[in-house]
Amino acid sequence: MAVTHGSLSQAGASPRPRKRGLQPGQLLRLWISRVIIWAVIIVVLIPMWFVFTASFDPSNSYISVSFFPAHATFANYRALFQGGQFLVWVRNSLFVGLTVAIAQSFITALSAFAFSKLRFYGRKYGLMVLLLLQMFPNILSIAAFYSALAKLNMIDYLGSYILVMLGASAFNVWLLKGFMDSIPKELDEAALIDGANTWQRFIRVQLPLCLPMLVVIFFLTIVGAFGEYLFAGTILQSPSNYTLGVGMYNLISGQFAKNWGEFAAAALLSAVPLAAVFALAQKYLTTGLVAGSVKG
């Protein structure tokens, strides 16, 4: 029996997979979720738009009835940079943020490794006590910190402020310890068999695996240092030591004049360093935020 070329091609052709469409209920839930997401985005962007328009408004008004100022100028930005005070605030904030983030990342990594992989007296309840102490509001400890620093003549020093900020690492230790607990213990056992000591296990085994989570901790610490005002406003008193939080508060704390335009311009410009850090560390942030969520 003769077999035509067309019949062979039809017989050898594999059936195409049929596209599976969404059910009516699934399609409705999809559109509802999209509407909710866009509504949330709009609600978040509205205050940011007010800040953006206020930074170009020469009337020094924080809220304008118009969608965009009629006579938009860069006067607020020029006034902000006059005298170089804003650059001093940015420099101090960057110095404090980077120093605290680097030191806290190192301290957090060491502490989390000890609580996760080592066995010592007080290990079971030590981290819990630290976490409970961290839960107390910071405002309750301001008087104690100020009194201790005043007795040691350490008021109005960036180093004193950094020292106080380094104490807020209990939550990071708890977070990183949970991630280290998910690392297979067979890696440590293999390193011990190869003759590695405790320091080598930490540097060569645990630390490379914890790099994405450490980047998350580093970024969150910088964000917290940039936005912190409570301790900075208490410890730092000289204009040359002001951070962004203290300097920007002084722009709107005057009794007879509140520089809302300059404040809005400073708020926009202060977000530039954080946006740059986020752009550089985005790959590690997305990896670290989901790290340890699935075991096996």
Whether 171 and 134 have beta carbons less than 8 Å apart is answered as yes
Residue 69 tokens, joined? 């100022």
User: Taking 50 as the threshold, does the pLDDT of residue 3 lie above it?
Assistant: no
User: Taking 60 as the threshold, does the pLDDT of residue 246 lie above it?
Assistant: yes
Residue 230 tokens, joined? 């409570």
Q: What is residue 160's predicted lDDT score, i.e. its pLDDT?
A: 92
98-127 tens-digit pLDDT: 999 999 999 899 988 888 888 878 777 877
Instruction: Please provide the size of the chain in residues.
Output: 296
Q: What is residue 285's predicted lDDT score, i.e. its pLDDT?
A: 67
Q: What is residue 296's predicted lDDT score, i.e. its pLDDT?
A: 44
Mean pLDDT for the stretch of residues 167-171:
77
Of 173 and 122, more confident: 173
Please state, rounded to an integer, the average pLDDT across all residues of the chain: 81
28-87 tens-digit pLDDT: 888 899 999 999 999 988 888 888 888 888 777 666 666 777 778 888 888 888 878 899
User: Taking 70 as the threshold, does the pLDDT of residue 142 lie above it?
Assistant: yes
Q: What is residue 17's predicted lDDT score, i.e. its pLDDT?
A: 53
What secondary structure, in 3-state letters, does the chain show? Answer: CCCCHHHHHHHHCCCCCCCCCCCHHHHHHHHHHHHHHHHHHHHHHHHHHHHHHHHCCCCCCCCCCCCCCCCCCCHHHHHHHHHHHHHHHHHHHHHHHHHHHHHHHHHHHHHHHHHHHCCCCCHHHHHHHHHHHHCCCHHHHHHHHHHHHHHCCCCCCHHHHHHHHCCCCHHHHHHHHHHHHCCCHHHHHHHHHCCCCHHHHHHHHHHHHCHHHHHHHHHHHHHHHHHCCHHHHHHCCCHHHCCHHHHHHHHCCCCCCCCHHHHHHHHHHHHHHHHHHHHHCHHHHHHHHCCCCCCC
pTM more than 0.75: yes
∠ CA 112-116-121, nearest 5°, is 100
Q: Choose from 32-41, 70-79, 174-183, 249-258 the range with maximum mean pLDDT.
A: 32-41
Q: Domain 84-289 is of which CATH architecture?
A: Orthogonal Bundle (1.10)
∠ CA 208-210-216, nearest 5°, is 125
Percent of the chain with pLDDT strictly greater than 90: 17
CA gap 9, 6 in Å, rounded: 5
Sequence spans of domains, the chain: 24-73, 84-289
Mean pLDDT for the stretch of residues 165-169:
81
Whether 152 and 90 have beta carbons less than 8 Å apart is answered as no
Whether 273 and 90 have beta carbons less than 8 Å apart is answered as yes
